[in-house]
Structure 1
Amino acid sequence: MKKWIYMMFAAAVPGCHRPAAQPLFGIGYTTELQTDFREMNWVNLLKMDFSRTLGKGFRIDLGSISIAKTRPERLIDDRQGFSNIEADNLPFSLSVAGLSFSRGASCLFAGLRNMNEDYFASPVTSLFTNSSCGIFPTIAANYPIANYPLSSLGIHYTHEKERWRIQASLYNGRGYNGFAADNFLFRFRPVSDGLFGITSLNYRNHGSSYHLGGVLYNGFHICEAEAEKRSLSGILWGYVEQRLTKGLYLLAQYSAVFPSDVWCHRFGGAGVVMRFRTAEAGFFSGCAVFSAEKEYASELTCRITFSDHVAIQPAVHLIQGACGFRQITLMRLNIAL
């Protein structure tokens, strides 16, 4: 599941090129009420981050997440996930734990990490609460990788200069969020878990941004029947955030899997976002193509910022797929310190 929360807490999240001459500590709390007008669910996410420079370009980065919700099951069984913060109850888990080394425009991180820290977290897509506006379902629905709330050991490289950013990561093929023997965060076993590689090229100009990337995965993918099989597959993805006028942005996304015999093999969507002085409003509609059905999901949302630390966000989701036609309304409160 892909998380706009990481953009909201950008000041607290360790970044490769942000100087940290003094220890930096940040806390982010998100609480969300969900309803389908028959049942309700209350979801809470607490995120903490710490960064400290060690000298000569080295820095230690630490991050944690805690999740609590009132219902063990989700309100609806949609494939894409209408809420990008909902997950099983998790008292405490590490999301980041490792060392960064920076020199010039480049940064290399080694340790525990998840993809939400680096990929699919651009400003326009980050407004929406549907998980597909984060990590595309062609990636998140097919592979048990280091995607929220899971992390895994790996390396991440970033080169950023002027308007360009190049990223590349190599992770253990499975993600974890615990400390038990069968769910150990610091496990690295590419023979049994496989390997997951992802890269992206980003270009920014005049308020617009363009993103192109690819994935190569060798390991186990999750099929519709919840069984697992060894596979080698690749994914191409891209999205555009085109600034039309001051405050008005057009968003377009597309992703495809090769070969196409995995569970979710295509995804595409488009939307529009309007920014005001203290608020943002947006509409997004997308379609994920699964092996047995298609799922259409649309979202209308706005985020109102009251200060540098507090924002509220109502959202309405319309979903048509295996779950039938369903409507979900949610209200989200975000606090960043």
Structure 2
Amino acid sequence: MVIAVAAFGCRRLPAQTLFGIEYATEMQTDFKNLNWVNLLKMNFSQALCKGLRFDLGSISVARTRAERLVDDLQVFSNIEEENLPFSLSVAGISFCRGRLQIFAGIRNMNEDYFTSPVTSLFTNSSCGLFPTVSVNFPIANYPLSSLGVHCAFVTEHWEVQASIYNGRGYDGFTGDNSPFRFCPASDGLCGIFSSIYRNNGSSYCLGGVLYGGLHVCTGQTEGRSVSGALWGYAEQRVVPWLDLLVQYSMGLSSDLWCRLYGGLGMRGRFRKVEIGVFSDCAVFSGTEEWASELTCRIPLSPHADLQPAMHLIRGAFGFRTVALMRLNVSL
């Protein structure tokens, strides 16, 4: 299927029409068992008229093992999910005028938030969306999507984003599992905001989420109220080939399942190879989880790279070690 889609993606398309494919496949091992995970993302964009564009994106996930290798709360692989043949990640209309961009329709918030260069290197899910947000609220976090409106204002040094989504994300098409649902009365509402300043290769971000609806209290129970979380991270360019990373986030309610999160890391670049090391701690109700990652990204061609990673995890289950080898292909 991947080969067939790739062949279609390489066909010449009309002007102002864009079609792209991203495929990631990884082999995981805890040195006792194996798990093979695959993610296929397809993106389509068609200009409608001046300033207007139709955007469409999909997600497909497949894995060979029914259970995860490690039941870590932060999830060491940011592409692993249960088998999902096809789900919409984006479907809507974008309006662009100068530095302002507005999108309305179905959207996955991972398209816009926590996408900075250093953060995006690591395979740990906590770098993709901090657990004070992802595990506390049933929002449009990968692979889920929901109806909403996203706005962004981008200048040379600043990027300000704000979004409002249906309070619950979905990955199906029919009934109660459709991202086309907009039901604030039952699903609640989610508002998210971030402000990023970039200069000389460094970036600094402050953001927050305000959520009204059901949120996770202990991992097993839920409560309905208005809650949220704040976060900040900095990616400091020390020398042209070295960046330092600092992350911190806190929940705004004491009854949230994950109340605090913090992480430290660095990324080095040697020729075309990126090497990164990262360690974090997430505080959950009744337990703490520590996770560390050592990874590198090795370009194989302009469209493919190889990424091995080693994860050291300590949580309620004890101490576990997991290794993975990921191949990323983009067309």
Same fold (TM over 0.5): yes
Q: Counterparts of 1:335 and 1:327 in 2: how far apart (Å)?
A: 26
- Find the residue that maps to 1:133 and give its secondary structure: helix
Which of 176, 179, 186 aligns to 1:185? It is: 179
Partner of 2:42: 48
**CA apart distance, 1:330:** 0.3
Query: Offset of 1:222 from its aligned partner?
Result: 2.2
Shift of 1:308: 1.4
Distance 2:207 2:201 in 1: 20
SS in 1 for 2:93: strand
Provide the C-alpha distance between the structure 2 equivalents of 1:187 and 1:242, rounded to a whole number of angstroms: 41
- Deviation sequence 1:101-151 (CA, Å, 0-9, x none): 111110110000011100001000110000011100000010110000000
What are structure 2's unaligned runs of at least 5 residues? Answer: 1-8
Query: Which residue of the other structure, out of 257, 260, 264, is the alignment partner of 2:254?
Result: 260
Q: Secondary structure at the match of 1:180?
A: coil
Name the structure 2 match of 1:310: 304
Q: Report if the CA contact (8 A) 1:278-1:306 is conserved.
A: no
- Note the C-alpha offset of 1:228: 2.2
Distance 2:193 2:44 in 1: 26
Matched, 1:88 2:82: yes
Identify the residue that residue 280 of structure 1 maps to in structure 2.
274
Residue of structure 1 equivalent to 2:33: 39
Indicate conservation of the 8 Å contact 2:219/2:257, yes or no. no
**2:107–2:140 CA contact under 8 A, matched in 1:** yes
Are 2:99 and 1:105 aligned?
yes
- Identity across matched positions, percent: 65
Instruction: Give yes or no for the alignment of 1:151 onto 2:183.
Output: no
Q: Tell me, yes or no, if the aligned pair for 1:35 and 1:41 is still in contact at 8 Å.
A: yes
Q: How far has the Cα of 1:180 moved from its partner? A: 2.6
Q: 1:74 and 2:74 equivalent? A: no
- Which whole-Å CA distance do the structure 2 matches of 1:64 and 1:197 have between them? 23
Aligned match of 2:6: none
CA distance in 1, matches of 2:228, 2:84: 31
Residues in 2 aligned to 1:142 and 1:223: alpha-carbon distance in whole angstroms: 7
How much has 1:297 moved relative to structure 2? Answer: 0.2
What does the per-residue CA deviation read over 1:254-286, in whole Å, with 9 as the maximum and x for residues that have no partner?
000112211001000100100122210010000
- 1:236 Cα offset (Å): 0.9
CA distance in 2, matches of 1:33, 1:157: 37
Instruction: Check 1:163–1:225 CA distance in 2 against 1; reply closer, same or farther (3 A cut).
Output: closer
AA in 2 matched with 1:60: F
Per the normalisation by structure 2, the TM-score is: 0.95
Matches within 5 A, 1:106-125: 106-125=100-119
RMSD value, Cα = 1.2
Report what 2:200 is aligned to.
206
1:242 positional shift? 0.2
Residue 228 (structure 1) aligns with: 222
The TM-score normalised by the length of structure 1 is: 0.93
Are 2:324 and 1:330 equivalent residues in the alignment? yes
Residue of structure 1 in register with 2:244 after alignment: 250
Deviation track 1:20-63 (CA, whole Å, cap 9, x = no partner) reads 96100001110010000111100000000001111121000000
Q: CA deviation at 1:225?
A: 4.2
Which stretches of structure 1, 4 residues or more, deviate above 6 A after TM superposition?
none
State the 1:326 CA deviation: 0.2
**Matching residue of 1:295:** 289
Aligned pair count reads 319
Residue 307 of structure 2 contacts residue 327 of structure 2 at CA under 8 Å; is this kept in 1? yes
SS, match of residue 261 in structure 1: coil
Which 5+ residue runs of structure 1 have no aligned equivalent? Answer: 1-11, 13-19
